[in-house]
DNA sequence: CCACAATTCCCCACGATTCCCCACTTCGTG
DNA sequence: CACGAAGTGGGGAATCGTGGGGAATTGTGG
């Protein structure tokens, strides 16, 4: 269970250091490999422990190839899913494509999201967050029904 | 299990170098031969390890010839299936027909898709991906339904 | 059957990337 | 204040990606 918010820095070589807390959690799993893929809704990256990713992968695999939308989902999510390992310093090297997809610059925001970690470019994250907060603030736009019924 | 996204370049002779990661996986199989064929739904190429292809081939064989769609799929998949070997540098030479089918230019995107690898022309891939992401974003389209039911 | 052209294959070489290691800084703790 | 743990940056070696020269082979047409 990944929980918490952290700001992390990405160095000139495209390496990101996850907080030790998460590193230990990932290591304690059966395998230390991490699967990095893209979030189809937002321009950010997801990090899954291998075991967790396999569950997601199995779900994707069952989608029919004949349907274009299903096929695309498979291709993008599975296609971008890349095995990563930690270096001696507990950092993960991200490829240029993944960094470009999420618009990652020097500073990034890392969000624990239960079964996975979410990595945003810091400024992109702040923009999104402020946008959401502004929407909630101006009560003119009612919150969607799903959210309304949740007791938080 | 092939996983991950890589950009590869295709040289003037039509050769493509697979990342070492995939090369090793392919070598570890019983045979180092790779079957290259076409994706019947998208303009891209598929690469199968020999053993995996034989499984697919057997499935295709059992499709009824009476059904036109099945017959076409069979013809295209089996017809374009070509045995390939790596050269000393770990590259595969692709024929002009295969390159034309996928519209492959200088830069290409290679996607791990479980039992096979998928090779797209780089710009064609980006176009497809962005199109799909745009559909996901506009939550009104039925496309988002595919993902809605998946808890990722 | 031969000659020519096109393709395929094997080799070498350079540049970029990746990986491994070391060093410095910062922060929290005793 | 001192110490240790964690974050950050970068040097340098090894590996990998990329391109191209030239020989061998295949195919084609006369």
Three-state SS for B57-100 is HHHHHCCCCCCHHHHHHHHHHHHHCEEECCCCCCEEECCHHHHH
> Where does the pLDDT of residue A69 fall: very low under 50, low under 70, confident under 90, or very high at 90 and above?
confident
Residue A131 and residue A125: Cα distance in Å, rounded? 10
pLDDT at A146: 65
- Chain A residues within an 8 Å CB radius of B146: 63, 67, 69-70, 73
Cβ contact, residue pair A40, B4, below 8 Å: no
Do B114 and A65 lie within an 8 Å CB cutoff? Answer: no
Task: Give the residue among B130, B105, B114, B109 at the shortest CA–CA distance from B6.
Answer: B109
**Measured CA angle at B54 (ends B48, B59), to 5 deg:** 110
Q: What percent of chain A has pLDDT over 70?
A: 90
B115 CA to C24 C1' in angstroms comes to 46
Structure tokens at A111: 């969000």
Of B3, B7, B127, B117, nearest in space to A99 by CA = B7
Query: Closest partner residue to B7 among A56, A72, A97, by Cβ?
Result: A97
Chain A residues within 8 angstroms (CB to CB) of chain B: 35, 40-41, 46, 56-57, 59-61, 63, 65-83, 95-98, 116
Q: How confident is the model at residue B127 (pLDDT cuts 50, 70, 90)?
A: very high
A-chain CB neighbours of B136 within 8 Å are 40-41
Residue A14 is predicted with a pLDDT of 93
Where in chain B are the domains?
A: 5-143
Using a 10 angstrom Cβ sphere, with 0-12 exposed, 13-18 middle and 19 or more buried, the burial of residue B76 is middle
**Fold classified for A5-140:** Chemotaxis protein chec (3.40.1550)
**For all residues of chain B together, what is the average pLDDT?**
87
Poorest-pLDDT segment among B3-17, B70-84, B129-143: B129-143
What is the average pLDDT across A34-59? 92
- The yes-or-no verdict on residue B141 having pLDDT over 60 is no
B103 dihedral zone (left: phi>0; alpha: psi -120 to 50; beta): left
Residue A145 has pLDDT above 70, yes or no: no
CA angle, corner A85, sides to B127 and B117, nearest 5? 40
Q: Do B146 and A40 touch (CB under 8 A)?
A: no
CA of A49, C1' of C10: distance in angstroms: 42
- The mean of the pLDDT values for chain A is 87
Looking at per-residue pLDDT, the higher value among A143 and B98 belongs to: B98
pLDDT of residue B18: 93
* Fold type of domain B5-143: Chemotaxis protein chec (3.40.1550)
Q: Is A54 helix (H, G, I), strand (E, B) or coil?
A: helix
CA A56 to each of CA A50, A104, A115, B84, B140: distance values in angstroms, whole numbers, following the listed order: 10, 25, 10, 32, 24
The answer to whether residues B131 and B123 touch, using CB atoms and an 8 Å cutoff, is no
The pLDDT tens digits for B29-87 are: 667 789 999 999 999 999 999 889 999 999 998 888 888 888 888 889 999 999 998 88
Q: What's the whole-number mean pLDDT along residues A2-14?
A: 91
pLDDT score recorded for residue A26: 81
The C1' atom of C9 and the CA atom of B2 lie apart, in whole Å, by 28
Scanning every strand, the nucleotide with its C1' closest to B6's CA turns out to be D17
CA of B152 to C1' of C30 (A): 44
Spatial contact of B35 and B85, defined as CB atoms under 8 Å apart: no
Q: Does the pLDDT value for residue B90 go beyond 80? A: yes
Q: How many degrees, rounded to 5, is the angle at CA A56 between CA A53 and CA A62?
A: 140
Reading the block at residue B61, the tokens are 């064989």
- DSSP assigned state of A47: E
Please give the pLDDT value at position A135: 78
B4–A73 CB contact, under 8 Å: no
For residue B50, which phi and psi values (nearest 5 degrees)?
A: -50, -50
pLDDT of residue B2: 92
Alpha-carbon distance B117 to nearest alpha carbon in chain A (angstroms): 9
């Amino acid at each position: 269970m990944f929980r918490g918010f952290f700001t992390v820095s990405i160095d000139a070589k495209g390496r990101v250091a996850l907080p030790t807390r998460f590193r230990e959690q990932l290591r304690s799993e059966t395998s230390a490999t991490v699967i990095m893929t893209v979030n189809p809704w937002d321009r950010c990256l997801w990090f899954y422990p291998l075991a967790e990713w396999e569950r997601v992968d199995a779900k994707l695999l069952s989608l029919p190839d004949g349907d274009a939308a299903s096929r695309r989902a498979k291709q993008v999510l599975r296609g971008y899913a890349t095995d990563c390992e930690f270096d001696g310093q507990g950092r993960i090297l991200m490829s240029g494509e993944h960094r470009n997809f999420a618009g990652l610059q020097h500073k990034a925001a890392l969000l624990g999201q239960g079964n996975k970690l979410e990595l945003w470019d810091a400024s992109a994250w702040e923009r999104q967050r402020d946008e959401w907060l502004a929407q909630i603030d101006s009560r003119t736009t009612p919150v969607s029904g799903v959210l309304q019924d949740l007791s938080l």
